[in-house]
Amino acid sequence: MVKKTMIISIANNKGGTGKTTTAVNLGAALAENNQRILLVDLDPQGHLSINLGVDIDNLERTIYDVLLNPKSSQIDQVIISELSNDCDLIPANIDLSGATVELMNEISRETILKRALLPVKDEYDFILVDCPPNLGLLTLNALTAADLVIVPVQTEYLAMRSIKELWSIINKVKEHTNPELSMRLLCTMFDRRTIHGRDVISELREVFGEQVFDTVITRTIKFADASVAAEPILSFAPKSEAAEQYRNLAEEVLSYVKETKSER
């Protein structure tokens, strides 16, 4: 059977829901399973790159060059190899903030990322794209390129309401540019001490059913400490509950891949 690369975009227009943390740690957990991983930082704030110890102010080339000149930028030279989480990375910095305007007049502007990734796609088992906290052209590109979008949702009051807009964009993308796109919700920052946390999870499961991962990521200060150390939680605190949860998430993603492959 031909092995197919799965592109997973991690999106939520709300900031601080755990997108970047999920990119770092799901990437690390999949790499522990001998999967070849490329991470793509698609946020002009460059948090994913910073979290992996990259000095984003001194980069010769970034995702910006890849998107603006896919032919001449030679994507393989933009890739930084084997970071602290055993993943490769296409980094981003503030240069990317101009891209939305510059790409506005391109032909088929929603498929730029998808096309740009083609030359390296086959070298990886998974490509994880970390989206910015908005629903602009960059996120649209990520959703159009993806086989699966993971939506990290903070497990708190109004969680359902917060994903309404994103849900409608995902459906539009399915209608127009990417009919095969699947979605999974990931409950993050779950706090056992609050009463309503469990209610929020049940409500999400009621509405979205199988589209909610069984794995729930609990709230812990360890993630902030791991960020400071520029390490994934899996190596910073390998035996922690948080590391275990991201390993469980990787297991779920791997079985999802098996399921979708047998369906083909």
Ligand X SMILES: Nc1ncnc2c1ncn2[C@@H]1O[C@H](COP(=O)(O)OP(=O)(O)O)[C@@H](O)[C@H]1O
Binding site for ligand X (CB under 6 A): 15-21, 47, 133, 188-189, 217, 219-220, 223-224, 227
> Which residue, 78 or 226, is less far from ligand X as judged by CB?
226
Q: What is the footprint of Mg ion within residues 18-37 (CB under 5 A)?
A: 19-20
Binds 11: which of ligand X, Mg ion, none (CB < 5-8 Å by kind): none
**Minimum distance from CB of 89 to Mg ion (Å)?**
14
Binds 213: which of Mg ion, ligand X, none (CB < 5-8 Å by kind): none
Whose CB is nearest to Mg ion?
Answer: 20
> Do 42 and 130 meet the contact criterion of CB atoms below 8 Å apart?
yes
CA 137 to chain centre: 16
CA dist., res. 152 & res. 11, Å (int) = 7
Return all residues near 125 (Cβ < 8 A) that are at least 6 apart.
3, 5, 6, 30, 35, 36, 37
- Here the tokens at position 188 are 């993050």
Point out which span in 14-22, 24-32, 63-71, 211-219 binds Mg ion (CB under 5 A).
Answer: 14-22
> Do 223 and 59 meet the contact criterion of CB atoms below 8 Å apart?
no
> Which residue, 73 or 232, is less far from Mg ion as judged by CB?
232
Helix (H) or strand (E) holding 209: none
CA 192 to chain centre: 25
Binds 16: which of Mg ion, ligand X, none (CB < 5-8 Å by kind): ligand X
Binds 238: which of ligand X, Mg ion, none (CB < 5-8 Å by kind): none
> Do 82 and 38 meet the contact criterion of CB atoms below 8 Å apart?
no
**Minimum distance from CB of 19 to ligand X (Å)?**
3
> Which residue, 75 or 226, is less far from ligand X as judged by CB?
226
> Which residue, 107 or 221, is less far from ligand X as judged by CB?
221
Helix boundaries (H) for the chain: 19-32, 47-51, 63-68, 75-78, 99-102, 112-121, 137-145, 159-162, 164-176, 196-208, 222-228, 233-236, 241-263
> Which residue, 2 or 224, is less far from ligand X as judged by CB?
224
Binds 98: which of Mg ion, ligand X, none (CB < 5-8 Å by kind): none
Which residues make up the interface to Mg ion (CB under 5 A)?
A: 19-20, 47
